[in-house]
Amino acid sequence: MRGLLRILIGALLLPQLCAAVADDEQKKDARAVQHEVQTLLHSRQSEDRVLAMRRLKEFPPLDGAKLVVQHGLEDRTPEVRRAAYETLLTWKDQREVVDVLLKLVTKKGHGKTTAGSAPLVPLLMVLAASDQGNVQHDLEKFLTGYLAASKTNMATLLTVADELGRQGDAAAVATLRKLCGWKQFPKVFAFRRAVVQGLIHCRQVDAIDALVGLLGQIDGEVYGDVVQYLGEATKMPYGDEVNAWKIWWQKRKKDFTFDQPPGAPPPEVLTVPRGSYSYYYGLPVRARRLVFVIDISGSMHGPRLDMAKRELTSVIGKMPPKNDFSIVVFDHQVIVWQRDLLPATPANKDAAMQYVARLQSRGRTATYDALDAAFRFDTEAIFFLTDGEPTCGRVIDPTQITNLVSQANRLRRLSIYTIGLAPGQVGSVFDTFLKTLAEQNYGSYRRVDQ
């Protein structure tokens, strides 16, 4: 009888004993994993640290996220930082993780973290990708104060868009689409251009869909970026015609591929105009805010200056009232026509054309000083016309000028279009200078041989 009782009691307690043993085994396994990951985290081998970042996905989200931030985002090796970001991205919709990241971003944003440096950038990327609650609202609230604190903080936001563009995957496209909805997008030209350029660098159908969707919402140089890329990526001839792009994409987005052969448009191809923009030496003038910079040095005397004045007068006369513009002329000195951009009203255009008509050639060529004066405007584009190498001014070396201007443009992202009058042989110092200056600054170079 007692034996039977022991058997019955054992049968009743067995499940609990088994559960306790299993739980104990799980704890042992968890401790083993934790020990292994800790060892990998402190390894000198980057491959081990990458593996540690991936193994952290097995941890509870909050614990894993803290270790990723602590050990991964500031690792000296790019592959480890990338793995850390990817692991953190898997928890982008975990409320407890998002709350911690928001607190961390706020702390670093108001601390001594260098603008554009890790870990602020990847933290912002993860938060920007989140669909959790009011995170987008909270993030924009933080950015408003962060950007107001210092102009250089814009570098952080631009780096976020640039990095997403370099990643180029579907997740990056989804995050960039969220950035299009941020209030900084319509307000800040540099950020708007960075986001659009990020989408352009993503070879994804969803990126094309996002860009087509932006048509009608954007204008100026950023609009030009989009339509130029769409033409190159799709081989379609719709130019600046918004409705044609939207109609075509609605029909083709389900079966669109990037490898469709050139010259083989679908049967429903439409005949549309190529755009209604004015042109300056063959360059389309799309910018809403722009500055014309014109060389009036002694070498411009005669037919060169006469032609330059005709071209400039013509393009000013055709600008719509929505445009804002000014003019910078230079020889060994720099003269600014108007210190602020003026709307292209009939009266302002008439005054500008009269000013251009009175220009006379003289002196030497202070190229850098003229470009520096143009950068002082809140502009989207600079059209820079010259017929000779720099001969005077604060900086004369063409390579140094290009480097200084491109560095200054990191936070501006404006376009510099260069026009070289009689630039000499292709590949000469002067020709290369103008070509490089344009290519490094979102612009185009136009040779005008005389």
DSSP 224-276: HHHHHHHHHHH----TT-HHHHHHHHHHHTTT--TTPPTT---TTPPP-----
241 and 373 belong to one structural domain: no
Give the Cα separation of 290 and 385 in Å (integer).
14
* Cβ neighbours for 198, distance < 8 A, ≥ 6 positions apart: 161, 162, 164, 165, 172, 176, 179
Q: What is the span of the domain harbouring residue 349?
A: 283-448
- Residue ranges of the chain with per-residue pLDDT less than 50: 8-10, 13-14, 17-26, 113-118, 261-274
Q: Which residue has the tokens 């094309």?
A: 208
Question: Is the CA virtual torsion 182, 184, 187, 191 positive or negative?
Answer: negative
Q: Which helix (H) or strand (E) holds 447?
A: strand 445-448
Domains of the chain: total: 2
CATH number for the domain spanning 387: value is: 3.40.50.410
Listed residues 203, 236, 252: the one ending a domain: 252
Q: What is the structure's pLDDT at 328? A: 98
Q: Does residue 433 share a domain with residue 365?
A: yes
Measured between alpha carbons, how far apart are the two ends of the chain, in Å?
118
Identify whether 312 is part of a domain: yes
Residue that finishes a domain, picked among 252, 271, 303: 252
Residue 346 and residue 379 in contact, taking contact as beta carbons nearer than 8 Å: no
199 and 176 in contact (C-beta within 8 Å)?
yes
Contact 392, 302 (CB under 8 A): no
Phi, psi of 261 (to 5 degrees): -70, 140
pLDDT of residue 116: 42
Please check whether residues 303 and 201 belong to one and the same domain.
no
User: What does the angle CA 424 – CA 373 – CA 280 come to, to the nearest 5 degrees?
Assistant: 50
- The answer on 354 and 240 residing in a single domain is no
